């Protein structure tokens, strides 16, 4: 059994997932590809979906997964971390990755369930699809026209929060797998030591 090779494969997959999470979260700050929505309007009302500011993709699925991925990758290469101690440490790093993935998943799921903040004619800047109002907007695309500004904000949020949710689920599975792999690496060795 070569737990070192398994760790290297896990890390190689975690790198792009962390990068995609960071990029998606940053893009969510610019609905309609415009910077004006980051600022509050004249009445001080929020014009940006609050879950974007939770930074689930940048901090949770990005940094909190990227740092463990680097250590996990090092356990798969010949050198200082490719030993039983390195595999033991990878369990802790993978646990941090699990927490980051859960953070990312929670923010993305909340953003999807509550819907975007948008300008609704006659009402102003609000969250028309919030679950509290009992509207299941995901299965009713005809309601998406309620949002007049930013343009296509509903599709924009659904697409990016869905990508974040998928990335978080994969990160959670891979970091969980590395925790098990790290345990076997502690007991059996990495195949390199």
Collapse the DSSP code of 120 into the 3-class scheme (helix H, G, I; strand E, B; otherwise coil) and give the result: strand
Q: Residue 140: left (phi > 0), alpha (psi -120 to 50), or beta? A: beta
Q: Write the pLDDT tens digit of every residue in 154-185.
A: 999 999 999 999 999 999 999 999 999 888 88
pLDDT of residue 179: 93
pTM of the predicted structure, to 2 decimals: 0.89
Q: Which of 148, 131, 174, 129 is nearest to 15 (CA)?
A: 174
Summarize pLDDT for 35-87 with one digit per residue, the tens. Answer: 888 876 666 677 888 899 999 999 999 999 999 999 888 887 776 666 778 88
pLDDT (average), residues 91-119: 93
């Amino acid at each position: 059994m070569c737990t070192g090779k398994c760790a290297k494969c896990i890390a190689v997959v975690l790198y792009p997932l962390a990068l995609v999470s960071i990029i998606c979260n940053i893009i969510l700050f610019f609905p309609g590809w415009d910077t004006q929505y980051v600022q509050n309007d004249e009445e001080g009302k929020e014009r940006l979906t609050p879950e974007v500011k939770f930074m689930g993709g940048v901090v949770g699925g990005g940094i909190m997964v990227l740092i463990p991925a680097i250590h996990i990758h090092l356990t798969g290469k010949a050198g200082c971390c490719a030993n039983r101690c390195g595999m033991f440490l990878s369990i802790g790093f993978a646990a941090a990755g699990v927490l980051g993935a859960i953070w990312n998943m929670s923010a993305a799921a909340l953003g999807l369930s509550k819907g975007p903040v948008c300008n609704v004619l006659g009402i102003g800047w609000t969250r028309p699809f919030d679950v509290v109002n009992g509207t299941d907007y995901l299965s009713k695309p005809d309601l998406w026209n309620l949002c007049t500004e930013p343009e296509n904000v509903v599709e924009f949020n659904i697409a990016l929060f869905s990508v974040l949710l998928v990335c978080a689920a994969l990160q959670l599975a891979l970091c969980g797998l590395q925790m098990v792999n790290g345990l076997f690496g502690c007991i059996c060795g990495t195949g390199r030591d």
